Structure 1
Amino acid sequence: MPRLTTRLHRFAPALLLLAAPLTLAADEPARWDAPGAGNPLLPGYFADPSIVHDGNSWYIFATIDPWGDKRLGLWTSENGRDWRFSTPNWPTKAAATSPTSGDSKVWAPSVVRAANGRWFMYVSVGSEVWVGTAAAPAGPWRDANGGKPLIARDFAPAYHMIDAEAFIDDDGQAYLYWGSGLNWTNGHCFVVKLKPDMVTFDGPPRDVTPENYFEGPFMVKAKGRYLLTYSDGNTTKDTYKVRYAIGATPFGPFHEAPNSPLLQTDAARDIVSPGHHAVFRAKGQSYILYHRQALPWPQSGDTVLRQVAVDPLTIAPDGTFAPVRPTHGSAVAGFAAARDRGLEWTPLGDGEAARAADDNYATLWRAPARGSGTIVADLGAIRQVAGSRLRPEFATRRYRYALDTSRDGKRWTRLLAPGDHQGSPITLRHPVTTRYLRLTVATPGAGLWEWSIDGETAQRR
């Protein structure tokens, strides 16, 4: 059996036993907008994901779309399916900016646990790489390099100094890979050995660019081989993909594998521009976590909206990859439990409201562009209700909601007065015995991925 080393190696041994080659389940549901799809994994628009496991929790750090934000997104889950959104205290655009950073926002985190037990984050701010540290993935985080970038913009001005990814080898030695191109061409990949402090360079950086490299390097070790995975193409179009190259050392030389690309657009199945990924393990199986274009695609105007997906990754006995067949979710059942959907309900009236109860983070119910919109949920019988969990289109924006209750669907009583809320999930406490609930969304044009209604005995997340 080949051996795999990724960012979790040495620190989560129970996750690192390589499974036999995976036989993919049928891709059900076949359509992206069918009920019950497990991909996208997260409810919202995020990109460039980095995933770690610590204690009983999973953590996904990611770029906030559209096209970055003044801070990062952090999603936390105990079961791999029900995720809670927050924003780490560091970095922010204001706290991690130098005179040469440029106007670009906070992008592309890489989070690893070092041999000394501390966690380190390598993150792009502007066109530079910064480094922070924390005692735990949830933070609090702080700058680890004296308030200056680890890799300045002028290190190699012909390329973007972004997309840094840390790799820890079997012996505990850490390496840092980074680099992207300009104007969607001319990407170069650099690597440097890190000293135990995870900040100081141990020797000069080297250019190890393989064929067809653009950005987003991620190192995987299998059966003594170093597999440099990376993205190529344009993430705003349908050309983005994951390729990989093979080398005998962390410094290469690297040459693209004969069966590369590893992951690419499957337009017939509505999977567009998968890329900028991370590789991890769970329950003895390897997975690739990545972003792809939000659906339906293309988006209107110049908006760039991406969503995070996960699919199984098979490593052959010779330490090479088998190409990934991206799915709409069924093949990731081994990674995570079923979502906690709460009480079953059906919408009354507007058929579009069913999108808020279809267990699919690719489909939205949307309020009218002017005025308010309503969804009436029928629980099928009079039941005890504890509250609601709302997953809005954008976890960083504020939305205004009100809630009414009725036992017969005709006479209504105000349960929650209109109020402003933010986050994901937005948790509303409203204990009541009822059959019908009416949710009013008073933010024009607001989108809602899912509305979960909890019974009194439900364990709410």
Structure 2
Amino acid sequence: MRIFAATFLLVSAVFTCSFAQEKTTSGNPIFKGWYADPESAIFNKQYWVYPTFSAPYKEQVFLDAFSSEDLITWTKHPHVLDTSGVKWAKKAMWAPGIVEKENKYYLFFGANDIQNDKELGGIGVSVSNHPGGPYKDLIGKPLVGSFHNGAQPIDQFIFKDTDGQYYMIYGGWSHCNIVKLSKDFKSLVPFKDGQTYKEITPDKYVEGPYMFVRKGKYYFMWSEGGWTGPDYSVAYAMSDSPLGPFKRIGKILKQDPAIATGAGHHSIIHNAKKDLWYIVYHRRPLTETDGNHRETCIDVMSFDENGLIKPVIITKEGVKGQRLD
């Protein structure tokens, strides 16, 4: 009888331990390593995140990707793109932007951190037959390789409008441009007024633009503050057009001194079938002072009855597991 009781207790303990260890939320960060500027997407019923490898510029010579079927367990896809396949890129490979078109995947990226028009670098574009790569340079040179309207050519976001037109929204140094992409993504197309680079910079914009449409309204989001400091944050505006005008409404993502600092440079995941919204962003643990020590996190984003974005509550738990039907 004692042997039976002991065996029962042992089995119960193992079962309880296994059950307790089974994750039901993503946790934050969602994967290990220093990663920032996360671009997120849904491809083939999987969640994907494409971040910057957060390290000194000369070490930023590749991009990794991560995929998940449930927001909890993430698979790493190392070096989906690196400078060995982009002859003009030497360092500072930053802030990917991803889009799928006609069964091909286009990964846009910034490289070389150019400081003026005499330097080689800017925004490039690569292509693959699979979201996990490998990606190859599409045009062999930067798509945008110089300054326009004061905007450093970095932090590009690819936006598909409701009419099927693809735009690229980009810019650092507190200036933001919107440009029209050609159908093959190999060049830019002028607007009807002859302009190629239209500035849409809202108040307090710094970098990291993002845009989405909800109920006929264009939501334009960006990062404010300094990326190495605790004041890094995300604000937004709304308009009836992707060209604006965009009047700043306010911040929706910022640090919580009890959890993490420097919460910013984000992207959005929208589960359209269940109308669930998530914000994917980077932040700095309270234990870290190195500017590059940033980690990728996810939390719930929601709206009020007027369509305004509610302030995001940053958490250690992250979000509940959610599969895509």
TM-score bracket relative to the smaller structure: 0.7 to 0.9
Q: Structure 1: which amino acid aligns with 2:254?
A: Q
Q: Tell whether the 8 Å contact from 2:42 to 2:269 is kept in structure 1 after alignment.
A: no
Q: Give 2:105's aligned residue.
A: 119
* Cα distance, 1:195 vs structure 2: 2.4
* Cα distance, 1:67 vs structure 2: 4.1
Q: Tell whether the 8 Å contact from 1:223 to 1:318 is kept in structure 2 after alignment.
A: no
Q: Give 2:313's aligned residue.
A: 325
* 1:63 to 2:57 alignment: no
Distance 1:322 1:309, change over 3 A: same
The TM-score, its normalising length taken from structure 1, stands at 0.58
Give 5+ residue unaligned stretches, structure 1.
1-35, 182-186, 338-461
Q: How do 1:408-423 residues align onto structure 2 when only pairs under 5 Å count?
A: none
Q: Give 1:238's aligned residue.
A: 230
Distance 1:97 1:206 in 2: 29
Q: How do 1:64-143 residues align onto structure 2 when only pairs under 5 Å count?
A: 64-67=53-56, 69-90=60-81, 92-98=82-88, 104-114=91-101, 116-127=102-113, 128-143=122-137
Distance 1:271 1:198, change over 3 A: same
Q: Tell whether the 8 Å contact from 1:93 to 1:125 is kept in structure 2 after alignment.
A: no
* 1:210 to 2:202 alignment: yes
Aligned length: 283
* Cα distance, 1:95 vs structure 2: 3.4
The residue matched to 1:261 in structure 2 has which SS?
Answer: strand
* Cα distance, 1:49 vs structure 2: 0.7
Q: Tell whether the 8 Å contact from 1:110 to 1:165 is kept in structure 2 after alignment.
A: yes
Distance 1:97 1:225 in 2: 40
**Pairing partner for 1:261 from 251, 254, 257:** 251
* 1:174 to 2:161 alignment: no
Q: Give 1:308's aligned residue.
A: 296
* Cα distance, 1:297 vs structure 2: 3.2
Distance 1:74 1:228, change over 3 A: same
Distance 2:202 2:322 in 1: 31
Q: Give 2:118's aligned residue.
A: none
**Pairing partner for 2:152 from 157, 160, 173:** 160
* Cα distance, 1:327 vs structure 2: 1.2
Q: Structure 2: which amino acid aligns with 1:322?
A: K
* 1:199 to 2:186 alignment: yes
Q: Give 1:45's aligned residue.
A: 34
Distance 1:319 1:223 in 2: 9
* Cα distance, 1:190 vs structure 2: 0.4
Distance 1:86 1:74 in 2: 5
**Pairing partner for 2:141 from 130, 138, 148:** 148
Distance 1:164 1:97, change over 3 A: farther
Distance 1:77 1:264 in 2: 26
Distance 1:316 1:199, change over 3 A: farther
Q: Tell whether the 8 Å contact from 1:110 to 1:164 is kept in structure 2 after alignment.
A: yes
Distance 1:199 1:223 in 2: 31
The residue matched to 1:286 in structure 2 has which SS?
Answer: strand
Q: Give 1:414's aligned residue.
A: none
Which runs of 4 or more aligned residues in structure 1 lie more than 6 Å from their structure 2 counterparts after TM superposition? none
Q: Structure 1: which amino acid aligns with 2:49?
A: I
Let me know the Cα RMSD of the aligned residues: 2.1
Q: Tell whether the 8 Å contact from 2:149 to 2:199 is kept in structure 1 after alignment.
A: no
The TM-score, its normalising length taken from structure 2, stands at 0.81
1:112-131 alpha-carbon deviations (Å, 9 max, x no partner): 112x3321111011131000
* Cα distance, 1:151 vs structure 2: 0.6
Distance 1:275 1:97, change over 3 A: farther
What percent of counterpart residues are identical? 29
**Pairing partner for 1:290 from 281, 285, 291:** 281
Distance 1:199 1:256 in 2: 32
* Cα distance, 1:264 vs structure 2: 0.7
Q: Structure 2: which amino acid aligns with 1:142?
A: K
Q: Tell whether the 8 Å contact from 1:88 to 1:141 is kept in structure 2 after alignment.
A: no
Distance 1:42 1:297 in 2: 17
Distance 1:313 1:89, change over 3 A: closer
1:260-280 alpha-carbon deviations (Å, 9 max, x no partner): 10101111x222111110011
Q: Structure 2: which amino acid aligns with 1:327?
A: T
* Cα distance, 1:243 vs structure 2: 0.6
* Cα distance, 1:89 vs structure 2: 4.2
* Cα distance, 1:164 vs structure 2: 0.3
Q: Structure 2: which amino acid aligns with 1:266?
A: D
Give 5+ residue unaligned stretches, structure 2.
1-24, 114-121, 191-195
* Cα distance, 1:94 vs structure 2: 4.1
Distance 1:336 1:113, change over 3 A: same
